[in-house]
Chain A
């Protein structure tokens, strides 16, 4: 899957969540996603960036414009070195939260994306990848 553009943003403070939203918006615009699809991926990015900050103790996101089989899309990979998630299935359920928020972050982000994958190792960190295709 060739990547045509990449940008990496650290997520350390609350302002960075806003920056993640802005970069996701810019990438979604460049790919030519519809307004609704833009809004979905930007909202998903906001949920995951906040998760990275609140539960992962900070981390970073890699935003990419990717191409596959003639389709273009935005792919975001959130990476943290936090405590990890012990029960991923449980964490994906709506209403689950170990902190503030409504507990819609993970499940919500999954519903707003075309692709969603999560790798987490308790004690080592969490890596979540989402993508939205045109």
Chain B
């Protein structure tokens, strides 16, 4: 079965969804990401959906789940590049994905993850003092 590739990028994982996903592909991605967060000790997950022209409630739920699972595993999930038409439609659909962090593009999303890591490292340093 097809899989969506997951790239490692420093201590973050990067997924670029470029195909119109059928439901099993989405479910497989959710599982793959969960195991990779653990095996790579990732602190952040970036999901680039700028190529998607449709996000329905199934994919919305997948994004929500990934964010929730990664939070438990101490990693931040940032969904980047959602198109305006997709955003309007999701809101109309009733999905606001309040548990998911968002950014305009991969660069900003990566900066968000790094900011948070820098912040928590500073906290750790404070604790040691």
Interface residues of A (CB under 8 A from B): 14-15, 17-18, 21-22, 25, 35-36, 38-40, 42-43, 46-47, 50, 94, 101-102, 104-105, 107-108, 111-112
Contacts and interface: CB of A to CB of B under 8 A. Distances in A.
Given A39-B85, A47-B57, A104-B93, 14 more contacts: A15-B22, A25-B54, A36-B84, A40-B89, A42-B53, A42-B54, A47-B93, A50-B56, A101-B57, A101-B61, A102-B57, A104-B57, A111-B92, A112-B89
9 contacts: A21-B54, A36-B84, A43-B93, A50-B23, A94-B94, A101-B57, A104-B95, A108-B92, A108-B94
Contacts, number: 70
Q: Interface size class for chain B? A: 20 to 34
Query: Which of B22, B58, B84, B92: most chain A Cβ within 10 A?
Result: B58
A102 B95 CA distance: 9
A22 B20 CA distance: 9
A38 to B, nearest CB: 7
Contacts of A36: 84-85, 88-89
Chain B's interface: helix, strand, loop or mixed, by majority? helix
B41 interface: no
Interface of B: 20-24, 53-58, 60-61, 84-86, 88-89, 92-95
A54 B55 CA distance: 18
B85 A14 contact: no
B23 A14 contact: yes
A20 to B, nearest CB: 11
A112 B22 contact: no
A107 B92 contact: no
